[in-house]
Amino acid sequence: MGLLPSLLLDSIPGALRLSPLAYGLTLISLLIPAIILIWELQQRHHEKLSPPGCRKLGLHMRSNLEDQNSQKYRIGSDPGKGQDGSPLWRVKALFIYPIKSCRGIELQHGDVIRTGMKYDRQFSFAQEVTSLPSLEEQADGSHGVKSEWQCITLRTFPRLARIETEVWVPDPSSPTYSPNGEFVQSEGCVVIKFPFSPDIDFSWDGLRAFVKILATKLSCQDEPMVEFRIPFNPTIQRIKQNGYTSEKMKIWKDAPEALNMGAEVPEEIMAKLKYCLGVSNPFTLFRIDTRNYREVFKCAPKKEEVGFQTIIGMADSYPLHIMNLASVHDVASRLPKSYYKNFNALRYRANIYITGPPAFAEDYWAKVRIGKCKYHISCRTTRCKLPNIDPISGIRDRNEPERTMRKYRVIDKGSTSPCLGMQVTPLFDEGDIKVSDEVQVLSESDHFFLKV
């Protein structure tokens, strides 16, 4: 028995003293109502965060990747129709990642716009980094310390994988819908959740923290979650009212003007989020400015050929990312058995997962039709160590799968990195895509990865 219970027992007169079993049962009977109360308060808090007039976007059933490790997806087939008339090459699953490097949302169907899947990678967390000027900058007359916002990713902050996101979109059929609603006017909102365990001490707040953690464990969750929400596309009025600023945020070699949305996050919550992620620098959340999307050149189709310039939000390089499950199975089959029993394709953070083609057939695709829409297969996806991070736990492996992929997937003459998956550009302004859509290859060619 611990020190505190022992002290409590010693302070009770002998005639009133309970046996350890009776004492334990009494303590539990006192805690249960408190746990129920805390649980109800958490549920009410969650309901309060659910924005009026909106519905939650995403799959409301089991994941379409639930059986991704089945061996039937390892062996490819020729394109065409099965005996039941369904396509043999088809979309298996769809995902969007509203905040760069955070947990994704699975869809059954979705809209595709010029920047990729709608709602995908429109936000990014960033930290402020200070540095001395480079030699070139010093030669140009710059001698002072410079400060800039830089996006953060799973590569350096693996606990971003633990941050959950929800997208709520306006729903005219909702009984609380109003065209003047706060988040209806902002095209919906994003609910952000992250794990944070409060401190436990002998104060009333400490008791509340203990009960909250206990209630979390009883509900089969690892840690209590902190929640906040932000508008998906804030109106000009809200931007002015809340004092948003437009600042440059560095994302690889780009530095687009983006909206600093830090004013939407209470200081107390921001401090907890920094602690959760292990960020010590000044920290904030950015949204891509919809009037200032990043233009993509490199291997994307040329404007004079397709009539428009390829653009993206906070994605690394291209609007969409496609992944063939047979290719993932091939990589998994070569990993040391001591590493993984169930290798998760979500490590590669693709938008579109497909089944049917043999492993790595996609390496040479040039143009495809998915459903009714055509797509340009712009280049192969070069891989860093990011897939070494487990997408559920946020735990990083030192070696795999990056080491295994380096042995046989350094295949593009334009890069020294291993490749898996393909970068994709929509060849239309607006379209749609859904699970089970047929995938048809329209043309093939070799690829050469261009860094700039």
Distance (Å, whole) CA 365 – CA 324: 12
If you average pLDDT over residues 70-80, what whole number do you get?
94
Element (H, E) at 377: strand 373-382
pLDDT at 58: 96
pLDDT at 206: 47
Domains of the chain, with CATH numbers? 25-56+123-130+145-231+234-289 (no CATH), 60-120+293-452 (2.40.33.20)
**Higher per-residue pLDDT: 52 or 218:** 52
If you average pLDDT over residues 177-204, what whole number do you get?
84
CA 298, distance to chain mean position in Å, is: 25
**Among the listed ranges 145-149, 172-176, 429-433, which one has the minimum average pLDDT value?**
145-149
In the numeric block, the tokens 């992944």 are attached to 323
Q: What is the dihedral of CA 357, 363, 367, 372, to 10 degrees?
A: 30
* 76 class by beta-carbon count within 10 Å (0-12 exposed, 13-18 middle, 19+ buried): buried
**Higher per-residue pLDDT: 37 or 284:** 284
Q: What is the pTM of this model?
A: 0.85
* 385 class by beta-carbon count within 10 Å (0-12 exposed, 13-18 middle, 19+ buried): middle
Question: Hey, what are 264's tokens?
Answer: 């939407």
How much of the chain exceeds pLDDT 90, in percent? 74
Segment 422-445, tens digit of pLDDT = 999 999 999 999 999 999 999 999
Q: Is the pLDDT assigned to residue 22 strictly greater than 90?
A: no
Work out the mean pLDDT of the chain and round it to a whole number. Answer: 88
pLDDT at 223: 77
34-to-5, 26, 29, 263, 370 alpha-carbon distances in Å:
19, 13, 9, 34, 53
Segment 80-132, tens digit of pLDDT = 998 899 999 999 999 999 999 999 999 999 999 999 999 999 999 999 999 87
Segment 215-235, tens digit of pLDDT = 544 444 567 889 999 999 999
Q: Is the pLDDT assigned to residue 200 strictly greater than 80?
A: no
Please, are residues 299 and 446 in contact by the beta-carbon 8 Å criterion? no
